[in-house]
Structure 1
Amino acid sequence: IIGCEVYVAPRSRFDKETKIDSSPYHLILLCENNTGYQNLIKLVSDASVNGFYNKPRCDRETLKKYHEGLICLSACLSGEVARRLMQDNYGEAKQAALDYRNIFGKDNYFIEIQDHGLEGQRKINPYLYTLSEETGIPIVATNDAHYIDENGAEIQRVLTAISTNTTINEKNPLNFNTKELYIKSADQMDILFKSKAVQNTLRIAERCNVEIEFGDIKLPKFTAEGVSDNIEFFKKSVWQGLKERYGNPVPEEAISRAKYELEIIIGMGYVDYYLIVADFIAFARSRDIPVGPGRGSGVGSICAYAMKITSIDPLKYNLLFERFLNPERVTMPDFDVDFCYARRQEVIDYVAGKYGQDHVSQIITFGTMAAKAAIRDVGRAMGLPYAKVDSVAKMIPFSLHPSIERSLKEEKDLAEAVKNDAEIAKLVNTAIKVEGMPRHASMHAAGIVIAPKAVTEFVPVIKSDNSIVAQYTMGILEQLGLLKMDFLGLRYLTVINDCVKQVNKTAPDFDVNNIPPDDGEVFSMLTSGQTAGVFQFESSGMTSVLSRLKPDSLEDLIAVISLYRPGPMQSIPIYIENRHHPEKITYRHPILKDILEVTYGCIVYQEQVMQIV
């Protein structure tokens, strides 16, 4: 069941006066069908973009505008009807209920009744039944759900303390005076209410039938002056680009590869995707905005290389197109493009100007509680001494993506502390439950959505500073078939560009693209540990690996970057040993030699895995 608990402004969503407008009412909106889903998207988007005042707020105007396909419930004690009853204004409560029924329709508005053992509910529940009888508005029994089962009440209290920077022992207006806010069974609800109010929950649920379409690609249409047939224009651009890249005549291997790629790209409907990316990269270059040579699986496409989307020859480095795009792929392919971080926004503005401001948005991301932070936050919320909490947090090892549970298995000191100290045991067990939970929302550093229509036709948005941001994360947007691009702002491109300008003052013919990839002095520099300011090589761990490896080729550097990540990292010692002692290289089968020889018998790249399979 798709829905949202929205906030309703007491007056207009544009009114934002302290005291008068700072306590919006709650209201539950459930999508009966896809029309309701589309309307809910627009309603919550407007609430965030236009109605935000402490919280995103809609008002009666937007509820009337977007009511179709929505089922409305009057909400909890913070709903307008309940709040007016709490203020002993039965007449105003009744009028509010009638107003909402008029907005949503006779069969689409329900008076909501709850019983969590709270004094306010005991006061107003009899009036809610009376109100239902007098107006004919059906009543529905619900249970506020802030956690899944009753054991979640303590974790809820800890999380509230973390978010308000208090302890669980302090009075907090956001705390609930009940432990009943979990998902109750039908039997539990029957015992509480014994009425049609419980049966109405099933009737509402049966009416809610939203079908969200996944996997249907929603590409914006590429347009350019003088171009009437995008497929022919795409083909022409590729063949012309191949001549520029490889010379004329184009090698047979490149022709064969391009024909293969063209058939798949055209067949899967990604022509406009290539044209869109090539267009904004061409714009960046025309404005002298530094653009990276390409990263990720996209550099495996010879068509991308021909169209100057990437600058890396996939044939030279044996890169596979299938890693980027193949007929079995169900999600959008993804070109990750690096731009000078100082001028990245110019490219985004160009895209927004070309496709429409409302067709382009940034993307939300959620920061989660990591292991050490979870320990520290929970310890602070529990009111434990800093020194004690700090000592426990320091027992979590510094590693890529550590977890508390894994640390308990691997770190003897932590396991002993938990075993011997009940306070630490409670701290750690609580921290395990909050680890990985969302802590805050922010804007993705690189992600951009480009939609064929207004973004709010597909997903809800919020306003962050002056940017419009899609409320769904990158993975969800991909599943929905929207075009998601990574416009990565890379500081090193800016630094390199500044350096080139300095060099050009004394060497006007210097071109960074013509630097030889086999310069021995560069490899000597890296081997000696002089890696500060070198992209992806400057961490202490990476510097240590380079000094042990003693690289002497570009392939060595490529392999090290690929190995230095979770999983493959365990192969680094073997790789270094085999690199210095080739006689130790062994293959499970002779046919693996051609595939793994370049990496000294180690499986390093996804392309190698695909070739082996």
Structure 2
Amino acid sequence: MQQRLDYELGVITSTGYAGYFLIVADFIQAARDRGIPVGPGRGSAAGSLVAYALRITDVCPLRFDLLFERFLNPERVSMPDIDIDFCYERRGEVIEYVREKYGRDSVGQIITFGTLKSRAAVKDVGRTLGFTPAETDALAKLIPNAPNFSLTVREAIDKVPEVKKLYRDDERYRELLDFAIKLEGLSRHAGVHAAGVVIAPGPLDDYVPICTQGSRGTSAGSDESIVVTQYGMNSLEHAGMLKMDFLGLSTLTVIDDAVASIRSRTGEAPDLATLPLEDEKTYRMLRAGKTAGVFQFESPLATDILKSMRADRFDDLVASTALMRPGPLDAGMHKVYCKRKRGEEVVTYALPELEEILDTTYGVITYQEQLMRIAQKLAGISLGEADVLRKAVGKKDAALTRGEVGKFAGKAVALGHDPKIIEDIAGQIETFGRYGFNKSHAVAY
């Protein structure tokens, strides 16, 4: 533990982010002092032992084998990202505390820019060119716009026969679609990020352009005007600004109300921080499908997965959180996990070295941290280098992915591993990029 703590502190101080940790720890403690419910952690920050020691998170990364490098990679330093869940009803109080402590002119919320998507571009252009609403609606509906499958206007012309025919045969529609192609992706309107807050060392307008707007609808905690940056999230990061997300989670509000109700009726209430994770009655209830009102698990899909895998341990809940995503579902990984959990399919490992990494998920690569461990173990690289591979695969850039996966394969073969097996594992790593999930977030949630 001391070695891990010293390592993390060394990285944090050398990268200049010590102040960031202390500021986050300060306003989280202020929230707790005011009785405002705070979540146990969110995202990759749960992989930091320093964050756990400061009570930024309530998840011990050593207990669950969570990786600091997934949060702050010394091999490729980027801004750390600590997102915090607060009680939905009282989030504004925490933001107000930050304004009071660090200066109202030094704290601002973050602008967002809504961009023209394919359907909106078609409708806006069509309205301008004199098309009837019925005509533009009919055309827009021909362009796929689902979360798991959407096309740009240009792609729709190539891949949707009806759109291709209109573009080829009708000059009016060709003009509309040509204009829509040029406008798609441009910023259409501005708003305020629902959770993003930026803190500057001095007046915010000394560092970035700002504007002010009324606080209605921003959870700012007061009725006065608030400062809003005119740089978006990514531009603020490039400018080196300290940003974080103050998220309002209604589940924390519900739990707090439930605990208060128990206390008012019985005179005492359970300490949520000390509840055991191995309570058999709880798992029996979840296996039976009694998940109504249970955070993350009350949807029909989540309930079916818990019943199918016969969840009886905390690792099953963590895996369920990671497997209930479009990628793993499309790949059928949840079915493989459930079959192996029930003993209906043999658990196999391509190499003996993988057993200690994949045993908790029955040989199924489920988390990004497992990919990093596999790369470290087989290729003899650092976890920082393994995180570079993880990011490359996650970006779905074919050339970048091939380059990083190729480096991994070359180093693994050089260490004496069977080239055919490594080639197969490399293919799994490439596929994994479509569905890998952050274990730190899964454990915390």
TM-score, length of structure 2 as denominator length? 0.71
Q: What is the CA-CA distance between 1:602 and the residue it aligns to?
A: 2.2
- Matches of 2:22 and 2:100 in 1, distance apart? 16
Rate the CA distance shift 1:544–1:429 in 2: closer, same or farther, 3 A. Answer: farther
SS at match of 2:192: strand
Deviation of the 1:605 alpha carbon: 1.6
Q: Give the secondary structure class of the aligned counterpart of 2:105.
A: helix
Shift, 1:574, TM fit = 3.2
Q: Is the 8 A contact 2:283 2:312 kept in 1?
A: yes
For residues 367 and 574 of structure 1, do their structure 2 counterparts lie closer, same or farther at Cα, with a shift above 3 Å needed? Answer: farther
Match in the other structure for 2:371: 609
Whole-Å separation in 2 of the counterparts to 1:472 and 1:267: 27
Question: C-alpha displacement at 1:472, in angstroms?
Answer: 0.9
Q: CA deviation at 1:310?
A: 0.8
Look up the match of 2:20.
Answer: 273
Task: Quote the Cα distance in structure 1 between the aligned partners of 2:187 and 2:153.
Answer: 18
| Alignment counterpart, residue 296 of structure 1, candidates 35, 43, 59 | 43
Letter in 2 for 1:612: I
Corresponding position of 2:428: none
In structure 1, the partner of 2:321 is 561
Aligned twin of 2:353: 591
CA distance in 1 between counterparts of 2:155 and 2:307 reads 30
Structure 1 counterpart of 2:163, one-letter code: V
**How large is the RMSD of aligned CA atoms in angstroms?**
3.1
For residues 54-69 of structure 1, what are the structure 2 equivalents within 5 Å? none
Structure 2 residue aligned with 1:445: 194
Picking from 243, 251, 254, the partner of 1:484 is: 243
Q: 1:539 Cα shift?
A: 4.5
- Tell me: CA distance 1:429–1:359, structure 2 relative to 1, closer, same or farther (3 Å): same
Q: Per-residue CA shift, 1:518-560, capped at 9, x if unaligned?
A: 3445445545555454333344554554454443322222222
Identify which of 473, 476, 481 aligns with 2:232. Answer: 473
Secondary structure, counterpart of 1:346 in structure 2: helix
2: CA distance, partners of 1:268 / 1:473: 23
Whole-Å separation in 2 of the counterparts to 1:597 and 1:425: 57
Give the aligned partner of residue 518 of structure 1. 278
Verify the 8 A CA contact 1:374 1:435 in the aligned structure 2: yes
- 2:365 and 2:17 map into 1 onto residues whose CA distance is 31
2:81 paired residue number: 334
Residues 528, 463 of structure 1: alpha-carbon distance in 2 compared, 3 angstrom cutoff: farther
CA drift of 1:566 comes to 5.0
Task: Sort the Cα spacing of 1:405 and 1:552 in 2 relative to 1 into closer, same or farther, 3 A.
Answer: farther
Q: What does residue range 94-113 of structure 1 map to in structure 2 within 5 Å?
A: none
Structural mapping, 1:64-463, within 5 Å: 254-374=1-121, 376-378=123-125, 380-381=127-128, 383-384=131-132, 386=134, 389-390=137-138, 393=141, 396=144, 398-400=146-148, 402-404=150-152, 408=156, 415-421=160-166, 422=169, 426=174, 431=180, 433-463=182-212
* Contact 1:500-1:512 within 8 A present in 2 as well: no
Is the CA contact 1:331–1:479 (under 8 Å) kept in the aligned structure 2? no
Given the superposition, is the C-alpha separation of residues 431 and 534 from structure 1 closer, same or farther in structure 2, using an over 3 Å criterion? farther
Greater helix share, structure number: 2
Q: Percent identity?
A: 47
Superposed CA offset, 1:244-287 (max 9, x none): xxxxxxxxxx2222122222222222222222111111111111
Cα deviations by residue, 1:43-98 (Å, 9 ceiling, x for unpaired): xxxxxxxxxxxxxxxxxxxxxxxxxxxxxxxxxxxxxxxxxxxxxxxxxxxxxxxx
Letter in 1 for 2:334: I
Q: Distance in 2 between matches of 1:319 and 1:576?
A: 23
> How many angstroms apart in 1 are the aligned matches of 2:241 and 2:278?
41
Sort the Cα spacing of 1:589 and 1:268 in 2 relative to 1 into closer, same or farther, 3 A: same
Describe the superposition over 1:124-171 as per-residue Cα deviations: whole angstroms up to 9, x where unpaired.
xxxxxxxxxxxxxxxxxxxxxxxxxxxxxxxxxxxxxxxxxxxxxxxx
1:17 counterpart residue number? none
Superposed CA offset, 1:486-506 (max 9, x none): 111111111110111111223
Partner Cα separation in structure 2 for residue 406 and residue 375 of structure 1: 11
Q: Alpha carbons of 1:481 and 1:575: their partners in 2 closer, same or farther (altered >3 Å)?
A: same
CA distance in 2, matches of 1:456, 1:380: 39
Gaps of 5+ in 2: 215-224, 376-445
Judged with a 3 Å threshold, the aligned counterparts in structure 2 of structure 1 residues 370 and 504 are, in CA distance, closer, same or farther, namely farther
Contact 1:376 1:390 in 2 (8 A): no
CA distance in 2, matches of 1:406, 1:581: 48
Give the distance between the partners of 2:358 and 2:120, measured in 1 at CA. 41
Tell whether the 8 Å contact from 1:376 to 1:393 is kept in structure 2 after alignment.
no
- Within 1, Cα distance between the matches of 2:180 and 2:308? 38
The CA distance in 2 between the partners of 1:473 and 1:315, in whole Å, is 35
> Structure 1: how far apart are the matches of 2:190 and 2:4?
43
Cα distance in 2 for residues equivalent to 1:553 and 1:524: 10
Q: TM-score normalized by structure 1?
A: 0.53
Q: Distance in 1 between matches of 2:134 and 2:337?
A: 43
Cα distance 1:475–1:543, how it changes in 2: closer, same or farther (>3 A)? farther
Seen in structure 2, the aligned counterparts of structure 1 residues 282 and 388 have a Cα distance that, compared at 3 Å, is closer
Aligned counterpart, 1:496: 255
CA deviations 1:455-477 (Å, max 9, x no partner) are 11110011121221111111221
Give, in angstroms, the shift of residue 403 of structure 1.
2.8
SS at match of 1:586: coil
Q: 1:454 to 1:572 in 2, by over 3 A?
A: same
Residue 304 of structure 2 corresponds to residue 551 of structure 1: no
Higher relative contact order (CA 8 A, sep 6+): 2
Q: What are the Cα deviations for residues 369-419 of structure 1, in whole angstroms up to 9, with x where unaligned?
A: 345545555555552452773485276263336334698599xxx723224
Q: d(CA) in 2 for partners of 1:364 and 1:586?
A: 49
| Pairwise CA distance, 1:515 | 3.0
Q: Is the 8 A contact 1:450 1:483 kept in 2?
A: yes
Cα distance in 2 for residues equivalent to 1:448 and 1:606: 27
Which residue of structure 1 lines up, in the alignment, with residue 393 of structure 2? none
- Answer with 1 or 2: which has the greater Rg: 1
Distance 1:351 1:608 in 2: 37
Q: How many residues align?
A: 357
Whether the 8 Å CA contact 2:72–2:78 is kept in 1: the answer is: no
Measure, in 2, the Cα distance between the counterparts of 1:555 and 1:409.
46
Q: 3-state SS of the aligned residue for 1:505?
A: helix
Cα 1:487–1:397 shift into 2, 3 Å: closer
